[in-house]
Amino acid sequence: MKYETWEKIYEDIANDLNLDKNQDEIASEIFDNLISQNLKTYVSLDTFFNLIQNRTVFVFGAAPSLESDIKNNIHQFQQSILISADGATSALLKYDIVPDIIITDLDGIISDQLRANEKKAILVIHAHADNINIIQQT
């Protein structure tokens, strides 16, 4: 998506949720500086596309039924791509399942996300005004 297209969508979201756009920009700059200083590996959008193209993808969020859903469907996960959001990562790890991709704004158990990352899960971190302190600590 081109920035010009995204900018209008972001402005609508920011207005609806009463987000501080200036603080979001500061968070983005802080995160960008940290990444540029500490980047070990970079995953391109093409890598994501190639990973999920023509594959069955399961997306896990921290819903009340998450653990029972994992137990009831665990047999389907082996040949699939698994994407978890924040706290869902911890639930998957509890069943020795490592997601392929973790989407996080660092609200979940960070040590679990890092452990999954060490086991080859790709971390996608969303920096925003409400998690500047966590980004700086991590």
Give the chain's domains with CATH numbers: 3-137 (3.40.50)
Beta strand segments in the chain, E:
57-60, 81-85, 101-104, 122-125
Q: Report pLDDT for 118.
A: 94
Q: Using one digit for the tens of pLDDT, what is the confidence trace for 45-89?
A: 899 999 999 999 999 998 999 999 999 999 999 899 999 999 999
Q: Which residues on adjacent β-strands are paired with residue 58?
A: 82
pLDDT at 60: 97
**Using 50, 70 and 90 to split pLDDT, how confident is the model at 40?**
low
Tens of pLDDT along 102-120?
999 888 898 999 999 999 9
